[in-house]
A and B are shown apart, each in its own frame.
Chain A
Amino acid sequence: QVQLVQSGAEVKKPGASVRVSCKASGYAFTSHYMHWGRQAPGQGLEWMGMINPNGGRPIYAQKFQGRVTVTRDTSTSTVYMEMSSLRSEDTAVYYCARGFSGYDYRDPFDYWGQGTLVTVSS
């Protein structure tokens, strides 16, 4: 069965960086886009960016350009999201989510990771 398993909760100080991992299993890793999004406490979903595990340049939300980097390791079927210059407003649950296919940006997200809480506090 398809599974996306994310790394554990993180506590970071303002100005630090964080890297969250998302290990995929149960399907052909390079056949589906992978997206990252987040949800601040009590707030809605916010899309951050995506990567084609089969290669190609990641696409980022304009808000996160220059501060977020999404990478993938095909040998371990893992996608990473790294965010730098953290501030308190970045406190949120971060999710990875699989795109329905690996060729259509319009696709829905059919599987989600369990979420990773990142807390930014001095």
Chain B
Amino acid sequence: SYVLTQPPSVSVAPGKTARITCGGNDIGTKSVHWYQQKPGQAPVVVIYYNSDRPSGIPERFSGSNSGNTATLTISRVEAGDEADYYCHVWDSSSDQVVFGGGAKLTVL
């Protein structure tokens, strides 16, 4: 089955740029979505179809996808960005949704 690999944790100082990766075999050929989840809350999509941003999500959030790695980039990080972030793809070879293991973003 298809596996998505995320770093368990990412730390960044306020005002700096955070990059959260999601690795998978030829993930560049798939559509990747990213969710932000804060404690006790349901996830919220922050990037969909690799790089599109839903209305209401700050422009500081961006995404890219190429080769074996998709990346969620958060510029000018704020304390309120501290959360868990999950990547999501549809694996057509097994007809399954696959989530990455999640990355906890800590703002120092």
8 A Cβ contacts from B82-108 to A? 84, 86, 88-90, 92, 94-102
The verdict on A47 contacting B42 (CB below 8 Å), with A62-B1, A106-B90 known, is no
The number of residues on chain A lying at the interface, defined by a beta carbon within 8 Å of a beta carbon of chain B, is 23
B48 touches A45 (CB 8 A): no
* Complex CA distance for A50 and B44, rounded to whole angstroms: 18
Chain B residues lying within 8 Å of A45, measured Cβ to Cβ, are 35, 37, 43, 86, 99, 102
Given contacts A108-B49, A112-B42, A115-B42, contact A50 B97 (CB under 8 A): yes
Residues of A within 8 A of B54 (CB): 110
A22 CB to nearest B CB, Å: 12
A9 interface residue per 8 A CB criterion: no
Question: A113–B42 contact, CB under 8 A?
Answer: yes
Let me know if A61 is at the binding interface, CB within 8 A: yes
Q: State the B residues within 8 Å of A (CB).
A: 1, 30-31, 33, 35, 37, 42-45, 48-49, 54, 84, 86, 88-90, 92, 94-102
A-B pairs, 7 with minimum CB distance: A112-B42, A108-B33, A47-B97, A108-B48, A44-B102, A106-B90, A45-B99
